[in-house]
Amino acid sequence: MTKGVITEEMVRDYRQSLIDEEKSEATVQKYLHDLKIFLNFAGGKPVNKELMIRYKDFLLKKYLVTSINSMLAGVNGFLKFSGWYDCVVKTIKSQKGLFRKEERELSREEYDQLLAAAKAAGKTRLWHILQTICSTGIRVSELQFITVEAVRTGYADINLKGKNQRIILPQKLIALLNDYARKNGILKGSIFITRGGKPVDRSNLYHEIQKLCEMAGVARSKGFPHNFRHLFACIYYEQEKNLANLADILGHSNLNTTRIYVRCGWKKQVRILDEMDLVAA
């Protein structure tokens, strides 16, 4: 059944609904951006299932499956919000990759290189931030909860998107952050803030890490904030081999999500198989 033409007012109402659902600002912008791509494709035509199927075919010719499913999420969300359920299209089923991409997998050695480069360049705040993320497994959005008070108690209580989680701070990190806060005159509240007093922005941190990668001789494809959370997960799992505990630490409600974090790269898998030595010479 053909529906109406999507209007600016409908888009504004959808945006407000996402905010009311307490979606993050990044998610809101992502959904609206993906909806805009669909609107450009539709060219002012009324929406119906046929148009949505053609849009899905259009995406298949231009993007990877993971990107397509992500882009459809925003559009399908709008269709459901508008009550146009019969126009919703299914996402594309695909087998998840068995290995992490080597060009994105950050090693412990590369992490150490980045820390050394940050310290040599006098990038003290960045040096502390990378160690905070990598030694606790927190997200960049959770850095704001690493406060002077949290350092004093030895744990941080994170409250985001209706979820509450307590993160333990390693003793060495506590000592580092205490020293950093004292030297920078930070007496209370979040330790990592901008000059304007706001929490460190993911975008700014990304650009800082990208520049640091060039200085350290580490591939830029590995230089994104979330990769340090992945490294924490890999090292923790290699040491403890306990997926359930790791899921609790990372704040995952689904173990399948945690499995993605500890998926090893192709070269490492080859090495493990070779070391098993189950082929007779």
Report residue 24's pLDDT band, with 50, 70 and 90 as the boundaries.
confident
pLDDT recorded at residue 278 = 62
Higher pLDDT, 185 or 254: 185
Report residue 209's pLDDT band, with 50, 70 and 90 as the boundaries.
very high
**pLDDT(13) > 80:** yes
Higher pLDDT, 195 or 212: 212
**pLDDT(100) > 70:** no
User: Which residue matches tokens 């509450």?
Assistant: 164
**pLDDT(275) > 80:** no
**What is the CA angle 269-263-246, rounded to 5?**
130
212 residue type, one letter: L
pLDDT recorded at residue 222 = 92
pLDDT recorded at residue 200 = 85
> Using one digit for the tens of pLDDT, what is the confidence trace for 69-81?
889 999 999 999 9
How far, in Å, are 33, 52, 63, 186 from residue 72 at the CA level? 11, 10, 12, 44
Instruction: Give the global pTM.
Output: 0.64
Question: DSSP string covering 16-70, please?
Answer: HHHHHTT--HHHHHHHHHHHHHHHHHHTTPPP-HHHHHHHHHHHHTTS-HHHHHH
Task: For residue 104, give every residue at least 6 positions away whose Cβ sits within 8 Å of its Cβ, in sequence order, or none.
Answer: 221, 222, 227
Length of the chain: 281
**pLDDT(149) > 90:** yes
pLDDT recorded at residue 57 = 92
Interhelix angle 124-136/202-216, rounded to 10 degrees, is 100
pLDDT recorded at residue 23 = 84
Report residue 259's pLDDT band, with 50, 70 and 90 as the boundaries.
confident
